[in-house]
Amino acid sequence: MALLFGEMGLLRPIGGKFSASFGAENIREILDQCRTIAEGLSGYGREIFANSGTLLGLVREGTLLAHDNDIDLGILLQAGDAAGAAREWIALTDRMIADGVAVQRSSWSQVTLKLHKIGGFGVDLFPAWCGADDRLWIYPHTAGNLTKAQLLPLKSDPMTGLALPRDAEAVLVSNYGKDWRTPDEGWSFDWPASRERFADFLACIAAPGGPAEAAG
């Protein structure tokens, strides 16, 4: 067990499969490729930033989390409400897939955009938007409880060159709770609560006729 999870850097099995983690990898090379991906995404005219586990690693550890196994990025949409964000997200992700930049939206969440892998590691893109009241939404963890000013202007991480939210600590509290600075191997994301908070957005994504039908 120590060999598998320590020296070999494998994560504990999910669905009966072991997966590699960043612990046994060349982190600098992965981060360089991640920055290249982020720079390419900026060509779509929207702000790109480190999100979720990637943001946690960069802020708390100064690098990727050793036990993590994917890259998380956020993209700030131009829409000002859930229905508009859903329409924009569907159109934007379809365009990215057609351009060959991305592979598909997650078959599980129907939201997360799967970009091309870095080595064997997944790269996930999550939508964010600001309402008319400047409340900030970052799927799947921040649901109007932060403000636009806590995201923008983005700041550059000096070690990696990736963009971070202006108040990265507030975003981490929103995602992981006030104890985010303390590593917690037993932590798990509360997906049922997230689905409730993002119910309007998810309904628009899942509407049979698309976001426009749900909004109308």
Mean pLDDT of the chain: 88
Q: Is residue 119 over pLDDT 60?
A: yes
> Is residue 7's pLDDT more than 50?
no
Look up the CATH number of domain 14-181+188-215: 3.30.460
Where do the domains of the chain lie? 14-181+188-215
CA nearest 91: which of 216, 210, 3? Answer: 210
Residue corresponding to tokens 């600098």: 28
Task: State the pLDDT at residue 196.
Answer: 97
Query: CA 125 to CA 117: how far, in whole Å?
Result: 12
The percentage of residues in the chain with a pLDDT greater than 70, rounded to a whole number, is 87
Report pLDDT digits (tens) over 120-148: 899 999 999 999 899 999 999 999 999 99
Q: What is the mean pLDDT of residues 159-169?
A: 94
